[in-house]
A = this chain, B = another copy of it.
């Protein structure tokens, strides 16, 4: 059945969840899955999620096989993409290719909110070990930005 999920100030009529239920390496981030989790007719092959990072917060530094399609719909910030740091502005779109290290940071005064679309069936993220971190920290701008 077709349906509309109403928005109000960057919250939707779906559960507001913790970013992850285990682990560390992230801060002040929430998740809402807008579409795709239903069973039966409402099942989709992809999930449309909204993540919101409060000022000073960040997502996990991770990589995985499945790609991400990201679109910023609130505020701005910065993203680590493997060996570089890129600024993010409203409506910028980010393609995160397979196995690219990435971490989103809300570096401004307002929250950073973004849609992240992924295949419903996908692999689990991998977190960095000390060798990975050492390699990434060879880039000074990455070293300054990354948090674990």
A44–B95 CA distance with the chains assembled, in angstroms: 10
Determine which of B4, B42, B81, B96 lies in contact with A94 in the assembled complex, contact meaning CB atoms within 8 Å.
B4
Q: Interface of chain A, helix or strand or loop or mixed?
A: strand
A71 interfacial contact with B, CB 8 Å: yes
A89 interfacial contact with B, CB 8 Å: yes
- The reply to whether B7 and A48 form a contact with Cβ atoms under 8 Å apart is no
Determine which of B91, B96, B97 lies in contact with A73 in the assembled complex, contact meaning CB atoms within 8 Å.
B91
Number of A residues with CB within 8 Å of any CB on chain B: 43
- The reply to whether B46 and A97 form a contact with Cβ atoms under 8 Å apart is no
A2-B94, A92-B6 are contacts. A48–B69 as well, Cβ < 8 Å? yes
Segment of A21-29, A33-41, A51-59, A133-141 engaged in the interface with chain B: A33-41
